Amino acid sequence: MEKNTWPFVTKTDYDSLYSSIIDWPKISLVIPSFNQGEFIDQTINSIVLQKYPNIEIIIIDGGSRDNTVEVVNKFSDFVDVFISESDQGQSDAINKGWNLANGEIFNWLNSDDYLSELSLYNIALAFIKSDKKSLLVGNVLNFDSTGNVKVISQKNITFLNLLKFWDTECIWHQPGIFVPSNLFGKSILDLTLHYAMDLDLLLDLTSNANVIYLNKVIHHFRIHNNSKGVSSPENTVLEKMKIVNKYYNGDLFLTFLDKINFLIWIFKICGKLILRFNFSAVKLVFINSMLLFIRFVKANEIDKVV
């Protein structure tokens, strides 16, 4: 990435921008990291360069063996907490960071992603104007090493829409979702989940909270071909079905079209797995999806009887 563009330089006069309000809410950002020394300077720069007057930066590193520690130490005047030790992975690191956080607003930031210009200002302003109990949702720009970019415009984020993870009506992308800290408990992420823990968290949050949309790009998300969701789609699907089983009950009515769309989506996933010759994954996904489908049908049949 060129060093003469964001997140390394800015033309925004942030000092003047923040002079209008004295009591800016504290924003806590946790950066889970492991061997991302190549990118983490972009991540930290995108926070520091915004000069947000009430920021808390917490970096939880899993004991990196590259130059991560050296890079982070260059920002020692800006980083509030830096821990580098072995852990149980990303979710464990985020939970550790949350337990150390003191902000009114919380999010985590992957150590190879970076924030957009003015993102912290826009998040804080939305929080100040809100009921302090709503999710603050901005858009996310996905990018890859070849220069491809795609803006994910988040919309229709509700508990029921999230539960129907196979449907395209709900569009969401976790990095662009900032959360008032008062909505969390002692831990955030389920350590038994490795692929869809953000869906589990968001279902928990939207069962009680509303959503405020900023309609601005606030986050840049790096796409890797070897990322977990890309390289192991069957594990992501299996975890999502496990999560739906956790939250679904007969009171949540699914229409006939919802169920048909679920079957169509599953057949598409199985088709992709067949093309990869991953027949054991096809079997697992198909069996678990049919069990979930039967549960959907039985719940609706009970409703008809009642």
Is the pLDDT at 183 greater than 70? The verdict is: yes
Q: Which helix (H) or strand (E) holds 47?
A: helix 40-48
Mean pLDDT of 138-147: 95
pLDDT class of 263 with cuts at 50, 70, 90: very high
Three-state SS across 203-250? Answer: HHHHCCCCEEEEEEEEEEEECCCCCHHHHCHHHHHHHHHHHHHHHCCC
Give every CB contact of residue 22 below 8 A, 6+ residues apart in sequence. none
pLDDT of residue 21: 80
Q: How many CA atoms lie within 13 A of 225 on its CB side?
A: 3
pLDDT of residue 19: 87
pLDDT of residue 113: 97
240/58 Cα distance (integer angstroms): 29
Give the number of other Cβ atoms within 10 Å of residue 183's Cβ: 16
Give every CB contact of residue 218 below 8 A, 6+ residues apart in sequence. 115, 116, 119, 122, 123, 138, 139, 140, 176
pLDDT of residue 229: 53
SS3 37: coil
pLDDT class of 306 with cuts at 50, 70, 90: very low
pLDDT of residue 232: 77
pLDDT digits over 232-254, tens only? Answer: 789 999 999 999 999 998 777 78
Q: Which tokens hold the place of 113?
A: 């992603």
Q: Which tokens hold the place of 53?
A: 């007057």
Is the pLDDT at 230 greater than 70? The verdict is: no
The closest alpha carbon to 162, from 153, 154, 171, belongs to: 171
pLDDT class of 226 with cuts at 50, 70, 90: low
Question: With a threshold of 0.85, does the pTM exceed it?
Answer: yes
Q: How many CA atoms lie within 13 A of 149 on its CB side?
A: 8
187 or 297: which carries more pLDDT confidence?
Answer: 297
Tokens 């840049």 belong to: 220
CATH architecture, domain 14-222: Alpha-Beta Complex (3.90)
Q: How far apart are the first and last CA of the chain?
A: 61
pLDDT digits over 6-48, tens only? Answer: 999 998 999 899 988 879 999 999 999 999 999 999 999 999 9
Q: Lowest-confidence range among 51-55, 120-124, 203-207, 232-236?
A: 232-236
Domain ranges of the chain: 14-222, 248-305
52/115 Cα distance (integer angstroms): 12
pLDDT of residue 275: 94
63/96 Cα distance (integer angstroms): 14
Mean pLDDT of 114-125: 97
- Per-chain mean pLDDT for the chain: 92
pLDDT digits over 156-179, tens only? Answer: 999 999 999 999 899 999 999 999
Q: Would you report the helix, strand and coil content of the chain in percent, each value rounded to 5?
A: 40, 20, 40
SS3 255: coil
Mean pLDDT of 207-235: 85
pLDDT class of 98 with cuts at 50, 70, 90: very high
SS3 103: coil
pLDDT of residue 20: 81
